[in-house]
Amino acid sequence: MTDSMPDSTAEARLSPTRRRRLVLLAVVAAAVLALDLWSKAWAWNNLRGQRRIELVKDWLYFEFGFNTGAAFSFLAHTDWARFVFIAISIGAIVYVVRMAVKLPTEKPAAFVAIGLVVAGVLGNMHDRLFRATDLGGGELQHGVVDFIRVYYWPGKPWPIFNVADVALVVGVILLVLVLPKPAATPLGAETAPAQPA
């Protein structure tokens, strides 16, 4: 009689170590999301229609921006783009959450990275769902609040961004750095053909 083998994947998902990693992911995501939403609300109330705030002369400013597109204003002022970005955001969250329940647990940095990505996606999706303003055409348009203006060279500004954008970029870079890499096959190595019995 053969005993049934336990489901190692389900066991890994329920292990205390994986629970701790998922709690770490949730805490990072919640903290960064809270910071992003608070900072956008502050920018909305204090920078909209006001002069920008100088933090480091010629290099760093707080300046209100409202992006109706994606990064670098891609597809800005396109009616259907909002729904495309929301759908992409939902798909991205589902993908990284599924990744979190399958990743090896020995690298907590991977779960921090996923928490950053989730916070970044949720932060910008929140604005696309709920934040709207009249940009001058007499009609409300939904978009994302940006407020961080960096000059990488005197007179040369980087596209304006927000905390969610920073979380997304840092999270993706960290995830690429810490994800398990597939073992490389040595050059010239070949699989020997199976010998007949």
Catalytic residues: 146, 165
- Retrieve residue 22's tokens: 């998922």
Burial class (CB in 10 A: 0-12, 13-18, 19+), 177: exposed
Instruction: For residue 100, give every residue at least 6 positions away whose Cβ sits within 8 Å of its Cβ, in sequence order, or none.
Output: 21, 22, 25, 111, 114
Q: State the first-to-last Cα distance of the chain, in angstroms, to the nearest integer.
A: 28
Buried b (16+ CB within 10 A) or exposed e, 95-115: ebeeebeebebeeeebbbbbb
